[in-house]
A and B are shown apart, each in its own frame.
Chain A
Amino acid sequence: MTTHSAQLFSIATGSPEPIYRQLVEQVRRLLAAGQMAPGDGLPSVREVAQALALNPMTVSKAYSLLEMEGLLTRRRGMGMIVADRPGPASSSAERAELLRPTLERAALEARQLELDPDTVLSLFTHILKEQA
C-alpha cells in the first residue's frame, strides 16, 4: 500500500472542463489502469491544494464525488484511501469508456478540419504506436 503524493495530479487551466472534473477523471484513469490499488492513500486536500495552487474546496469536491461513487473511502485519521473493489478490475470496455470525452473532443476537431475517418484513425494508430 502506497500513499500517493500530490504530484499524482496535474491540471490545466483554460479548459472547458472544470478543474474538479479533471481531478475526478485522473483518479478514475489511474484506478482503471491499476496504478492505484485498493488501500492506497491519497494526498490530503490541503496538500493537493497547496501543490497545485487550488482552492481546497475544489479538491474536496472532487474527493467527495469519488467517495459518492464508491471509488474512495474516508478513513479516520488517514484521509482518503482507495476503496476495496468488490469485483475484478474494470474491463477493457469500461476503461475505453473513460477515454470517450477526450476522443469526442478530438472527433469534433477532426470534423472541423474536414478530415475523413480513415485519415484520423491512421493518425491515432500511429500516435499509439509512437508512444508505446
Chain B
Amino acid sequence: MNIPIVRLSSISKHFGRSTVLDGLDWQVMPGQVIGLLGRNGAGKSTLLECLLGLRETDGGSVTIYGEDVNALSDATRARIGYVPQKSDLFEWMTPRQMLDYVKALYPRWNDAKVDALLARWGFDGGMQDKPISKLSGGEQQRLSIIRALGPDPELLILDEPVSALDPVGRRDFLRELIDGVIERGTTVVFSTHILSDLERVALDIAFLKDGRITLQGQLDELLEGARRVTGPGALLDGVALAGEVRRHRSLDGTVSVVTQNGAALGAVGTQAGVRVETLSLEDLFIEVTQ
C-alpha cells in the first residue's frame, strides 16, 4: 500500500524566462484525497498537466503506477480520469455522441453510472440533442466530470472542477465525489480555490508556491497545529519557533510568526504582550502562499 502511485522527481518547467515549476518533488499515495492549493498563476494547472504527461517538462521525471508518464500503457491510461480546467470536449457532437465516442476508447465503462449522472445533472430531454458548443459553461463542466467518471478511474485528477458551477451544482458534485468516487477508494487530486468544498472532502492538502510543494500534510493536523504568534520584536526576534512557516515584521516592529507546530510553543506564547491565535484554512492559505 505504501508505494506512491504518482511520483514526480525534480520537475522543472519554464515558460520563456519565467520558471513555473522549479525542481518540484511530489508523491501521491494510493487512496489519498489531496487538495492542491496555490495562488492564481502559481502553476497548479501546469503541475497537473505535467503530472498527466499532457505537457512536456524541461527536466525531471514523472511516473504513474510505476510507468514513465511519456510511455504509459493503454491499461494504465484507462485507470486515470481527468477533468481539465477548461473543458476540451468535442464541441460539434451532442453529449451522447461524445460519451459514446469516448466510451469506445476505454476497456471498461460504467453505463449505469453515466446514465444516472446524465439524468441527475439535467442532461435528459432536449439537452441530449444540443451540440456541446451550445451548452453553458456549467453544463460543459458537468459533462466533463461525467466523461472522467465513466471509466470508473482509480486515479482522478481534477483541475478546478467546480469553477463554473453554482452552489447547488457544487454540492451535487461533492455528493457524487463522496458517494461514487471516494467510497470506492479512488485516489483523488484536485485543485480548487473554494476552500469550503475542499475542507469537506480533502484529507490532505498541498501548497504550491515558487514552483515547489512548500507544505503538505493532513488537513486536520495542519489546522490543529497551526498558530499565529504575534508580539513585539524585542520578545520574538531572537526566538526561532519549531515548524515556522512564515515570519513577518510590521513597520511598527510587531513580529508575527506562523508555525505549524503549536504544541511546541512552550513559554514563548505565555509571555505578556504575546498573542497566540489558531488559524482557519483560509488564514493558513494566506500565510503559506504569501
Decide if B33 is an interface residue (CB 8 Å cutoff).
yes
In the bound complex, how far is the Cα of B223 from the Cα of A19, in angstroms? 10
Nearest residue, chain B, Cβ from A16: B278
Task: Give the shortest distance, in Å, between A117 (CB) and chain B (any CB).
Answer: 17
In the bound complex, how far is the Cα of B278 from the Cα of A54, in angstroms? 23
Render B155-176 as a binary contact track against A, CB cut-off 8 A, 1 for contact.
0000000000000000100110
Render B266-288 as a binary contact track against A, CB cut-off 8 A, 1 for contact.
00000000000111111100000
Verify A55–B171 contact, CB threshold 8 A.
no
Interface size class of A (residues with CB under 8 A): 20 to 34
Which residues of the other chain, A, contact B223 by a CB distance below 8 angstroms? Answer: 16-18
Within 8 A of A (CB), among B137-188: 171, 174-175, 178-179, 182-183
Verify B200–A55 contact, CB threshold 8 A.
yes
In the bound complex, how far is the Cα of B174 from the Cα of A14, in angstroms? 17
Known: A16-B280, A108-B277. A56 touches B200 (CB 8 A): no
Verify B195–A14 contact, CB threshold 8 A.
yes
Interface size on B, residues (CB 8 A): 27
Q: Which residue of B178, B224, B226, B282 contacts A53 across the interface (Cβ within 8 Å)?
A: B178
Known: A19-B200, A55-B201, A58-B203. A14 touches B281 (CB 8 A): yes
Task: Give the shortest distance, in Å, between A126 (CB) and chain B (any CB).
Answer: 27
Render A44-61 as a binary contact track against B, CB cut-off 8 A, 1 for contact.
001001101111111001
Verify B199–A13 contact, CB threshold 8 A.
yes
Task: Give the shortest distance, in Å, between B285 (CB) and chain A (any CB).
Answer: 11
Decide if B196 is an interface residue (CB 8 Å cutoff).
yes
Decide if A122 is an interface residue (CB 8 Å cutoff).
no
Decide if A9 is an interface residue (CB 8 Å cutoff).
no
Which residues of the other chain, A, contact B226 by a CB distance below 8 angstroms? Answer: 16
Known: A14-B196, A16-B280, A108-B277. A53 touches B175 (CB 8 A): yes
Can you list 14 residue pairs at the A/B interface with Cβ under 8 Å? Answer: A14-B196, A14-B282, A17-B223, A19-B199, A49-B178, A50-B175, A50-B179, A53-B178, A53-B200, A53-B201, A55-B33, A56-B182, A57-B182, A108-B277
Q: Enumerate chain A interface residues (CB-CB to B < 8 A).
A: 13-21, 46, 49-50, 52-58, 61, 108
